[in-house]
Structures are given as C-alpha cells and as structure tokens.
Amino acid sequence: MKIAIIEDELLAVNYLKGLLDKQTIIPVTETVVLRSKKQAIDFFQTHSADLIFMDIHLGDGMSLEIFEHVELFTPIIFITAFDEYAMRVFRHFTIDYLLKPFEEEDLHKALQKFISIRNNFDPESTLKSISSLQTGDSDMMKRFMVREGNKLKSIDEHHVAYFFASGKYLFLTSKDHQTYIYDDTIKDIIQKLNPQVFFKINRKFIINKEAVTDIIKHTSQKVELKLSPEPEVNAEVFISKVQIAECLSWLNS
C-alpha cells in the first residue's frame, strides 16, 4: 500500500514512520512525506495514495484547505493536537482522528478500522452512504449537528429559526432562543438547505419561513423582516434589494 503523510514536524514524521514500519496490519510498500499544504496540493493533483495520515496545522496553513484545491476520496486518518476540528474532518473520507501524543495502540486501532471498512465496503457505496447520512434522501440537510458544552446536539430543520454570519463565524439560532456556532459558511450551507424552508435574504442571514413574524415595507427598495427569536446582533434585518421580489414570493408560497 502507498501511504501519504502530510505533516510539517520532522519528529512527528519519524515517529509515525517508525510505528508504520513496526506494524503488521497493513503492507506498506511506499511512504510519501508531504511537509506543507502546497506540497500536498501539488502531489494530489497528479498522484494518489491508498491511505493518508494528515496533520491539521501545517507551516503554510490548515491542511483542510487542501480539499478546496483537489478532490480526495482517499481514506484519511487525521492526526492533531487539537480536538476542536473533529466535526469538520468527518465531512471528508475520515477513518479516524488521533490526538497527539498518540500511542502505538491508537495507531493499530485506526489501521484495524481502516482494514475493516475497506474489506466490508467498496468506496463508491461507502461514499454514497456518507452522502446519504449527511444530506438525507433528497440531497438536502434535514438535521444540523452543533456543540453544546462538551456534548453534541442534533437540531431538526424545522427547529432552526435562522443562520447568521458574524465575523468569521456562522451561527445557528433555534426556535427555543438558543444560538450555536455552526461549522460551515453561509455560502456553502445555502446549497444544502431545503429551499421551501430556508431563504438567503442577504449576505448575513438565511431564514426559516416560520421565523418571520412581521414584514415592514419602508420603501419599495427597503423591506425589513422581524424574526423570532429576535437576533442579538444585527437586530434590524433587511432583505437585499435584489432579493426582495423573490423573497416576498417565497414568503407567500
């Protein structure tokens, strides 16, 4: 098997290579070490691997940015010293998530998991299953996973009042007046939502139709929506001028 290690720390590379040389779970015929995001992008544009070990923090940026440049369906075992990225990495073909410093036993368990998945599922059907879990039968998201303290919580689409962007973050506000950081961007999430339920009214807000309590028409080019719960920031919510006609039609449907 051809293994790719995406890691900028030489000690971490040598430690992982040493463990891979000792283990007997998978036959490693070639190991490629990629020390930066750029090296990884350049490599995967023309090459492939059977399994990838990927650190998240690299010297020239986040390794998750690699997915913006190349399409990878290779199984990945993420290795990082930070646990806050666990939800983000499982959007990809992730086998496991190892927290540094990890032990030999942790690596063996991850490799056993990889072998079990490879032996029981072909890549095409596995990817379809992952896609189905994430987006539902109709290719639209029906539930949204958020973090509540040290727990994870799944919120049904009909309990979401709106999404709003503030600074670098996207937030989800539920109908019971709770607000959570949601790991996505407003540009991407709108592509995954049911258009009968949600509408992107401006650059910052995607609303659920049921969250609208009042429509205030200041002028033909200035229409305000009152939402419940009322946003804690950006309390005045206006429909983008170019969206007014379409949004009002959507609200009336």
Contact 192, 135 (CB under 8 A): yes
* CA–CA separation, 23 and 97 (whole Å): 19
pTM for the structure as a whole: 0.47
Query: Which pLDDT score is estimated for 204?
Result: 92
Burial 187-198 (b: 16+ CB within 10 A, else e): eebeebbeeeeb
pLDDT at 85 > cutoff 70: no
Confidence tier at 141 by pLDDT (50, 70, 90): confident
Summary mean pLDDT of the chain = 84
Query: Which pLDDT score is estimated for 133?
Result: 45
* CA–CA separation, 113 and 135 (whole Å): 24
pLDDT at 135 > cutoff 70: no
Question: What tens digit of pLDDT does each residue of 147-202 get?
Answer: 887 788 899 999 999 999 988 889 999 999 999 999 888 888 988 899 989 999 99
Length of the chain measured in residues: 253
Task: State mean pLDDT over 103-109.
Answer: 91
DSSP state of 184: S
Confidence tier at 130 by pLDDT (50, 70, 90): very low
Helix axes 10-22, 104-120, angle to 10 degrees: 60
Confidence tier at 220 by pLDDT (50, 70, 90): confident
Question: What tens digit of pLDDT does each residue of 13-25 get?
Answer: 999 999 999 999 9
pLDDT at 136 > cutoff 70: no
